[in-house]
Amino acid sequence: MSAHRFLNLRIIALAIILLIGIFLRLPPALFQKPDGPLRSLVVFHPQPASQQLGFDEGLYRDYTDKLIRFGLISYPEIIERYREKQQTLTGSILPPVRFLYIFFAYLWHELFGSETLSCLKNVSAVFSMFTLLLATLFAARLGGFCYAIGVGALMAFAPTQLHMSQHALVDGFFTFWATLVLWSLWENLRAPRDWRWLVLYNLALSAAVLTKENAFFVWVAVVTIIGPAVGVVLLGILAGGAAPLIATYHLSVSKNYELKYAILTGDGPWYRYLVDLMLVSPIVLLLAIGSAFNLRRAKKHEWFCFLFIAASYLIMCNIKYGMNLRYANMWDLPLRVLAFSQLLALTGFVAQRWRSIALFAAVGLTCASEMRNYVVMAVEYPLYELVSPELMRGVKILKSPADLK
């Protein structure tokens, strides 16, 4: 086969992978009768069984509604109303300082006039698509076209990525900015004198903090302070000053230790995330662990991904009543880079003439397993929160008496 024809086949394969990944991330409303424009294709789209309005989704909807009604200038008052309400509650509710997600939903409403909850879900879906495209581009920068196809395929069918794209929750939106931070950090390490990567890096860090205020501490611990500090300053302006912002954050964190749901579902040993990941993506996790034991000095991008996961894991597994697989959504890309690297190592033992076919089959079977896990947990079972009991019910480890009837 000529080199030109081989390149064309790889481009076609990558395009098909991305189109499938984007299709799987489309909002469910597009496929629902009677008005969904893609209702004739509903048989091909894995519709999530959970149609409930989650508590956090309701809060995001309320904050976005207020922003739509009263405008950006009212944001200090929205935060003040939150503090007044939070002081009367025994447990914590999420604060309106998750500004960037709410703001993009507001922009969606201004552009398309959609209902508020639909705006939030559409933003989640679109940014999950952006994450897929960004991850594929980042993988290409790490290891060329081969990595772009392999890692892109694994990301296209990642169960937690698909799950977050279907709900009005901030975590998938945050993953896009975290992935952009990771990519720009990699590029800065490769070209430390290129100011363009440095600007992108700090902009991405600022956006990450504007999306999740507690990301400030993670990114400061892992990387740098300039970008997160800019994000905190902008949040301070939106909150009406440093004192209101500090009071809002302190109130949210302190009340979280009294929230019954967080106590019941957010606790556990340091390896809790490993257990949850094994339930959702067992093959990817095992391959990534195998890759970690196969690290060599020359494998720079594997070391980079491994150290990012290890450093952020060390922080996240020590947050009291704060463990939820939603928060680990940003590990999906580095885990799949490590997993694909291990697949390359394993197929290296296959004869040269069959190596490409073996790698294609290995990636394909892994993607099929990932897709099957998503269908079992989120389509056949109404999975909403990515907490251990619900994940175990999703894969039928735990059952209720009603399941026996």
**Residuewise pLDDT in 10s, the chain (405 residues):** 566 676 678 899 999 999 999 999 999 999 987 888 999 999 999 999 998 899 899 999 999 999 999 998 888 899 889 888 888 888 778 888 889 999 999 999 999 999 999 999 999 999 999 999 999 999 999 999 999 999 999 999 999 999 999 999 999 999 999 999 999 989 998 998 898 998 898 888 888 888 987 664 455 445 555 555 656 666 676 667 777 777 776 667 677 777 788 888 999 999 999 999 999 999 999 999 999 999 998 889 999 999 999 988 988 898 888 899 999 999 999 999 999 999 999 999 998 889 999 999 999 999 999 999 999 999 999 999 999 999 999 999 988 766 665
The backbone region for 291, taken as left when phi is positive above 0, alpha when psi lies in -120 to 50, beta otherwise, is alpha
Rounded-to-integer distance, Cα 282 and Cα 49, Å: 22
The pLDDT score that the predictor gives to residue 146 is 93
Residue 344, amino acid:
L
Tokens in use for 207?
């956006």
CB atoms within 10 A of CB 58: 13
CB atoms within 10 A of CB 152: 25
Rounded-to-integer distance, Cα 170 and Cα 54, Å: 12
Rounded-to-integer distance, Cα 87 and Cα 78, Å: 15
Domain count of the fold of the chain: 1
- Give the residue numbers spanning the domain of 250: 3-404
Are the C-beta atoms of 270 and 317 separated by less than 8 Å? Answer: yes
The pLDDT score that the predictor gives to residue 234 is 64
Are the C-beta atoms of 155 and 135 separated by less than 8 Å? Answer: yes
CB atoms within 10 A of CB 180: 21
Are the C-beta atoms of 109 and 119 separated by less than 8 Å? Answer: yes
The pLDDT score that the predictor gives to residue 189 is 87
The pLDDT score that the predictor gives to residue 378 is 96
Close Cβ partners of 374 (under 8 Å, ≥ 6 residues apart): 46, 157, 159, 162, 163
Rounded-to-integer distance, Cα 351 and Cα 328, Å: 37
The pLDDT score that the predictor gives to residue 319 is 85
Are the C-beta atoms of 30 and 37 separated by less than 8 Å? Answer: yes
Three-state SS for 367?
Answer: helix
Peptide bond between residue 34 and the one before it cis (omega within 30 degrees of 0): yes
